[in-house]
Structure 1
């Protein structure tokens, strides 16, 4: 498995908030890393992040401690990326869809149905191509420690099951503030509605939106399957996350401490991916046991979803780094969409 071992450096960032890190760190320096994310406490990602915290403390003899703040305690994903850039917090792990607002080359991962399964996604992300994609963060004041995982996104609706793209006509669907996500749903007639994640539950309850799309685990742990209990396993987007650390803080550490942090990040990613292999089936069973409905698509229905994305690729490939999109599709063995944009 290839990870970002040649860690990504970045250009200068705003000086305020970073004064505590000026100068050269010594081996005796103590630090506290605030690590914020929007994922629910106890979810697979936060189990990985807690392992990260344990290994950093152990590897530095307690000189560096990691405080993990789940559930959006430190803000939404965009806010925490900015806070990490400016040094207000040291680490975060956003969805690549939100991170693409800071580096447009990452928008290629916002196209639907790229990866057929997680193993294919891991192979591509852990390759030199995946490292190259992370290198696009070089001017952002951030260092990428590796590709985490949120999982495949599925649909959850408040009033009836969606089976084919035509069922989305006029549906108000909560999405992230991600241009390519919004463009795809608009292309099949839906009404995508960006809403900050902490506000989604209330928006579903009050009818502001008719549905939401996210991996099963996050839908369930955030209780979104209570108001939106008609689920469809569309697996329309594989959603990687990126473990980020503030550049100035990271570079203030000794090489030994940097190695501890990278090793701990690798271990966290391995644990998250291992847990993700079974969590979807387990969570799906929990949702059904509590009265939710989870629908599998037939082969013909899934093909209808894939077919619905072909015009989207043709119309939007030029809006992103087309050569990188082609490279990702080729690496994933996705001939359908590769042909659509040639």
Structure 2
């Protein structure tokens, strides 16, 4: 009996020691599952309109997955991809009104709410990939984030889509003169101004409508990134691709600010840390995807023309009126952002 009692005491003491060790681990970080138990349960809806295999979409899907895993399933981001919940035209208002908590949409479409976001559509502002990353992670990006928050949306991530080009059915666009008489699908106000400056007629439509419009000759061409052109099979409905890197398109992962401000600080910190890592990954993919998708379109039969560096000045001069329109729309902040970029 005494032997049994002694064994019981030893077992009890061992259990207490293990329990204390577990508690200590929890205080110093412990396992991810233990940490996850500390997060308040919340479900966050996130919508986007890009094809699911686009590199921005892949990054966003991984962002949601990682947050769920690191929170032990307590912070559940429900993703609605490829326009299942909202079109790109309806996305921003839904975020601002709280109809959806999070959404991914282009800086071009956000420019109708925050005109300074049109900076990414001002032709030939960013001449390389690294310049964009430096800008959005510095004072330039802070000013844009502040302008968005004033409207009720917090920017969690600048997701690099890549450079924007022109595709069409009529002829190779070797100079701005070649645009005359064409109807070109536009993605927003400033791209429409550029299309007009080059002598063509802009036709605004969402990404999902373009293939049919090109197939039916409703438009002669379209402006988009080569990644989306490839995924939306532009090679089946257009012949010519002109690469002139006229604009660098950003997509924003934005969240309703009132909703976000009510989340626990720990949840906010997790979301922001994962967003920062995801933003870096997406930026690394953009240059690679641009090059690979342009090559793939050429291999699939498109006639690809890369505007020589020495000819770009003609394109830049013809696009000059677009800068004036941007400053008129975006005011003092717009001019300030242009000055910051021009000094680089």
TM-score between the two structures when normalised by the length of structure 1: 0.84
Shift of 1:269: 0.7
Q: Distance in 1 between matches of 2:245 and 2:155?
A: 26
Tell me: CA distance 1:318–1:260, structure 2 relative to 1, closer, same or farther (3 Å): closer
1:167-211 Cα offsets, whole Å, 9 max, x none, are 0111100002x2222122212211000012221110010000011
The structure 2 residue matched to 1:70, chosen from 78, 81, 104, is 81
Which residue does 1:332 correspond to in 2?
A: 341
Q: Distance in 2 between matches of 1:209 and 1:189?
A: 15
Give aligned pairs, total: 308
Q: How do residues 122-141 of structure 1 correspond to structure 2 at under 5 angstroms?
A: 122-141=133-152
Q: Distance in 2 between matches of 1:89 and 1:311?
A: 37
Q: Distance in 1 between matches of 2:93 and 2:326?
A: 28
Q: Distance in 1 between matches of 2:42 and 2:232?
A: 31
The structure with the greater share of residues assigned to helix is 2
Shift of 1:251: 2.2
Q: How do residues 1-342 of structure 1 correspond to structure 2 at under 5 angstroms?
A: 29-176=40-187, 178-313=188-323, 315-333=324-342
Q: Distance in 2 between matches of 1:295 and 1:138?
A: 41
CA RMSD of aligned residues (A): 2.0
Q: Distance in 1 between matches of 2:133 and 2:39?
A: 37
Q: Distance in 2 between matches of 1:334 and 1:129?
A: 12
Structure with the larger RCO, 1 or 2 (CA within 8 Å, 6+ apart) = 1
Tell me: CA distance 1:27–1:141, structure 2 relative to 1, closer, same or farther (3 Å): farther
1:24-66 Cα offsets, whole Å, 9 max, x none, are xx95532222221121111110111122112211221110122
Shift of 1:303: 1.9
Determine helix, strand or coil for the equivalent of 1:166.
helix
Tell me: CA distance 1:105–1:298, structure 2 relative to 1, closer, same or farther (3 Å): closer
TM-score between the two structures when normalised by the length of structure 2: 0.84
Tell me: CA distance 1:289–1:107, structure 2 relative to 1, closer, same or farther (3 Å): closer
Pick the structure with greater CA Rg: 2
Q: Distance in 2 between matches of 1:174 and 1:144?
A: 28
Determine helix, strand or coil for the equivalent of 2:237.
coil
Determine helix, strand or coil for the equivalent of 1:241.
strand
Structure 1: which 5+ residue stretches go unaligned?
1-25, 336-342
- Structure 1: 4+ residue segments shifted above 6 A: none
Q: Distance in 2 between matches of 1:222 and 1:145?
A: 27
Q: Distance in 1 between matches of 2:43 and 2:231?
A: 28
Q: Distance in 1 between matches of 2:189 and 2:328?
A: 10
Shift of 1:329: 3.1
Q: Is the 8 A contact 1:78 1:99 kept in 2?
A: no
